[in-house]
Amino acid sequence: MVNKYSRRLFLAGAGSLLAGAASAAISTSLRPRLRPSHVAPGVPAEAESLIAQALPDGVVSYAVADARTGEMLEDRHAARGLPPASVAKTITALYALDTLGEKHRFATRLLARGTLRDGVLEGDLVLSGGGDPTLDTRGLAALAADLKASGLREVRGRFVVWTGALPYTRQIDAAQPAHVSYNPAICGLALNFNRIRFGWTRAGKDYGVTLDARAGRYRPAVEMARITVVDRGMPVYTYSEKAGVDHWTVARGALGNGGARWLPVRRPDLYAADVFRTLTRAHGIELPREEIAETAPGGREIAVHHSDDLTTILRAMLKYSNNLTAEMIGMSASSARTGQPVGLRASAELMSRWTEVEMGMADVALVDHSGLSDGSRLQAADMVRALVSAPARQALEPLLKTIQVQLSDAGNANDITVRAKTGTLNFVSGLAGYIEGDGGRDLAFAVFSADLSRRAEIPRAQRERPSGARPWSRRARRLQRELITRWEQLYA
């Protein structure tokens, strides 16, 4: 049932907050299909007709309101909680900005414990992670260069790695296939989004394979992961861990002539240590095998790598929808609030309660910060409550990706400008953000669609690309475009 409102104020629910204020992106060229033939030209199609044509299976909920006044204009099943997929990252962005501030930067440090004299450290060298989700091999290389510039050339103690700024989590969502790179491990030290690049080339009847930590011009090989090509049909990949080493196998028949893909890392601490030893070796500094610290080590800072500011990180997170970034930022915010490291599930619960207290949202139940799990629930009405709040308009809207919804194949000056965040899981689709109206009236909206029964039937081995998921997602995105067109014509 679609509810329309003429003059009813929608609860904005924004109290005092924000002092500083595998997802598929929606296409840049959005072309709504022609209206049903029974609708007169110039008259917006009825929402129920659009839904019946696009997604007769599953559930569709939405809400749309005046972005400035909060007046609710139209909704459908808006109080029904559905998985938000990556739309959840908008909540994480607001939570992190409120907690950490837009200028916050994450720091990865090198600490010296002992005496450094004549280039020799009589003591331990510590690589200390500070929760930076964007650290890559180039950042580690800069730390290695700074280490050499400090005058150090030999470590006679231990090489210690500290990752406890965030609790270790083996994977974001245990229901995902083992080999998907968007579901890596989490801890206080990440490298290359905790992914490793697997490359292969055919060499006669066999294959040459590589595993490296590439970023920019750097391509260091790694020792903490191995992969073997085997003769079998399915599964394509298998994973096991032995003595701290990631062991992969891949089916020969799936490789073709050559290619590459990212694989997740399950021991980010060992991964970062492995790559850092290689980078320091290039500067003539040979480090011993790493030891993992169980408590935060002290020491004198001799080098530090800072991330970009939080606003820059969040803009990239919302554009590219990186799951690890969302989880580490959300957990960092919860840890800052409580004064101690907070695990993924507990942090998601803290963030959910924050939305109710600070954002006026009614019933948020998130189990992660990225939306990767289908166990999260978010209402379209709640999402719009957040979007129409002053803090969201000030802080979130400028960070969202701009999308032009074309009203004709040729495009024209009346095309609709949308700033929004997409979210896609198999048989789950979401879109939420703002519509810029030609008449000066901007709209805030959220659309959530899901066929959870069909999603639940997917065998684990087929969860990366299950049958029927892509056509369903295309229909869900088409419906989003058609609803946006309808709302712009009716209300904006």
Which pLDDT band, with edges at 50, 70 and 90, does 117 fall under?
very high
What three-state secondary structure class fits 19? coil
In the chain, the amino acid numbered 101 is G
pLDDT digits (tens, 9 = 90+) for 270-295: 999 999 999 999 999 999 999 999 99
Kindly state the average pLDDT of the residues 452-475.
90
Kindly state the average pLDDT of the residues 37-59.
79
Cα angle for residues 264, 267, 282 (degrees, 5° grid): 95
Six token digits for residue 434:
């703002």
- pLDDT surpassing 80 at residue 414: no
pLDDT cut 90: percent of the chain above it:
82
pLDDT digits (tens, 9 = 90+) for 215-226: 999 999 999 999
pLDDT digits (tens, 9 = 90+) for 87-106: 999 999 999 999 999 999 99
Higher pLDDT, 412 or 468: 468
- pLDDT surpassing 80 at residue 9: no
- pLDDT surpassing 50 at residue 37: no
pLDDT of residue 43: 66
30 has which bridge partners? 405
Report DSSP state, residue 117: E
In the chain, the amino acid numbered 111 is L
Which pLDDT band, with edges at 50, 70 and 90, does 405 fall under?
confident
pLDDT of residue 434: 97
Report DSSP state, residue 399: G
- pLDDT surpassing 50 at residue 35: no
Which of 33-42, 357-366, 432-441 bottoms out in mean pLDDT, i.e. has the lowest? 33-42
Which of 24-33, 227-236, 248-257, 448-457 bottoms out in mean pLDDT, i.e. has the lowest? 24-33
Which pLDDT band, with edges at 50, 70 and 90, does 28 fall under?
very low
Six token digits for residue 43:
């008259």
- pLDDT surpassing 90 at residue 54: yes
Cα distance between residue 264 and residue 425, in whole Å: 18
Which of 17-21, 41-45, 48-52, 425-429 bottoms out in mean pLDDT, i.e. has the lowest? 17-21
451: closest CA among 476, 423, 428?
428
Six token digits for residue 203:
């060499």
- pLDDT surpassing 90 at residue 408: no
What three-state secondary structure class fits 38? coil
pLDDT digits (tens, 9 = 90+) for 330-387: 999 999 999 999 999 999 999 999 999 999 999 999 999 999 999 999 999 999 999 9
- pLDDT surpassing 50 at residue 22: no
pLDDT of residue 463: 82
Which of 26-30, 207-211, 225-229 bottoms out in mean pLDDT, i.e. has the lowest? 26-30
- Residues 6 or more apart whose CB falls under 8 angstroms from that of 479 comprise 50, 51, 54, 55, 60, 447, 449
Provide the pairing of β-strand 154-155 with 120-128: parallel
Which of 36-50, 79-93, 230-244, 461-475 bottoms out in mean pLDDT, i.e. has the lowest? 36-50
pLDDT of residue 23: 36
pLDDT of residue 1: 61
**CA max distance for the chain:** 86
pLDDT of residue 70: 95
265: closest CA among 154, 342, 191, 340?
191
Mean residue pLDDT across the chain: 90
pLDDT of residue 413: 52
Higher pLDDT, 16 or 384: 384
- pLDDT surpassing 70 at residue 6: no
Show the domains of the chain with their CATH numbers.
2-102+310-491 (3.40.710.10), 106-307 (3.50.80.20)
Backbone angles phi, psi at 419, to 5 degrees: -115, 115
